[in-house]
Amino acid sequence: MVALPELPTPALVLSLEVLERNLATMSAARPGSRLRPHVKAHKCLGIARRQVEAGHHSFTCATPLEVVGMARAGVGSDLLLANETVDSHRLAAMAAAERESGITVTVAVDSTVTVDLAAAAGLRHVLIDVNVGLPRCGCAPEEARSLAERAQAAGLTVRGVMGYEGHLMTVPEEDKPRKVKACMSSLVEAFDSLVDVTGEECRIISAGGTGTYHVFDNDDPVLGRINEVQAGSYALMDSSYGAQPLPFEQALYVVGTAVSTTSRDSGSWAVIDVGLKSLGMDHGNPYIDEATVWFCSDEHTTFSMNDGSLPAIGERVAVRPAHIDPTIALHADIHVVPRWGEEVTEVWPVELRHW
């Protein structure tokens, strides 16, 4: 066991107690196959195994490496690559991993090119990726049927459709159900347009994330049709999602060490050894409790305490990243403590963080 003051920093530190509370909260809301946890949020087999223990056996992946790593480790039974890839070597690696592990591998497709490449690589299952308003991947809803026909002709099994309303994850709660429903209407229509040209395995309507998992009301004729949600950040959380009225707690911090302090008549500030190389910054500055973060540079974060005090040089400081997914990708290991303030008892590698 390693005491926190002895831990080299910057370091990811995870409270197992908080993680398990988050997993339990989500599995109660969306049990079993109603949740397809997104591996990209943690990229860690140790966390994925605990999601399996919480009752989830289907997973979403962002990269072929995540798919191959999960399959080879035997974690889960149903893996979805929710991003298009046109790399024939990576597609073939996923097909091989499916054959070797017996785990079902499905890939998202949104064009005739991605359909044909999946079939050529020996993959067997696809979801039709539909653009529901986020200008990223996904075919137009009216193109879903023809893509499904192309996939069927190529020998692929079309398992359903997916769409990601990522642009709505942090909109105000009073607007969220209405806006999400508008996006899901096009997804449901796309699904209904292709069911008569696909087999009985075409059942999945997949969408959502941590910011919208709670709006899929089973009594709503549109939102209730979404039968699996691809949430990931709920397990660990970050300051971006933490600003939303969600029932999940911060489970992971980047812990740094105060390396310099300055006190002048004009103000006081402290510097820790957590910077751009250890934080995902696309959602803005990180958050430090009872402090104001001034800025981040390559190796450092400069901040002031709201009460004017200063940490002691050598003191550990917990930093809440603004975006957990890219933050995790910058670290090789997660240091696990049973509860905040206790010693590190385990180190979980971030095995799935590369491409």
pLDDT digits (tens, 9 = 90+) for 192-205: 999 888 989 999 99
Res. 101: pLDDT tops 90: yes
- Residue 111 pLDDT > 80: yes
* Interhelix angle 88-101/64-73, nearest 10 degrees: 20
Residue 266: per-residue pLDDT: 80
Tell me the mean pLDDT in the region 149-167. Answer: 97
Q: How far apart are CA 109 and CA 86, in angstroms?
A: 10
pLDDT beyond 90 at 355: no
The chain-wide mean pLDDT, for the chain, equals 97
Measured CA to CA, the distance from residue 306 to residue 268 in angstroms comes to: 10
Nearest to 206 by CA among 78, 25, 19, 68: 78
**Residue given tokens 């070597």 in the structure block:** 89
Helix, strand or coil, per DSSP, at residue 333: strand
Nearest-angstrom CA–CA distance, 190 and 69: 32
pLDDT score recorded for residue 217 = 86
Q: What percent of the chain has a predicted confidence (pLDDT) above 70?
A: 100
- Contact (CB, 8 A) for 168 and 179: yes
Task: Specify burial of residue 353 (Cβ count, 10 A radius: 0-12, 13-18, 19+).
Answer: buried
Query: What pTM did the predictor assign?
Result: 0.96
Least confident of 1-10, 38-47, 64-73, 172-181: 1-10
Read off the pLDDT of each residue in 80-98 and give the average, rounded to a whole number. Answer: 98
What the chain holds in terms of domains, given with CATH numbers, is 4-11+246-349 (2.40.37.20), 16-235 (3.20.20.10)
pLDDT band of residue 265 (cuts 50, 70, 90) is confident
Sheet of 204-207, strands arranged across: 58-61, 78-81, 104-109, 125-129, 157-162, 204-207, 228-229
Q: What average pLDDT does the segment 325-351 reach?
A: 97
Give pLDDT, residue 199: 85
Q: What is residue 2's predicted lDDT score, i.e. its pLDDT?
A: 81
Residues pairing with 128 in the sheet: 109, 161
| C-alpha to C-alpha distance for 94 and 107, rounded to whole angstroms | 9
Q: Residue 27's pLDDT is what?
A: 98
The whole-number pLDDT of residue 65 equals 98
Residue 224 pLDDT > 80: yes
Phi, psi of 210 (to 5 degrees): -60, -35
Using CA atoms, how far apart are residues 285 and 91, in angstroms rounded to an integer?
Answer: 36
Question: Residue 3: which pLDDT band, with cuts at 50, 70 and 90?
Answer: confident
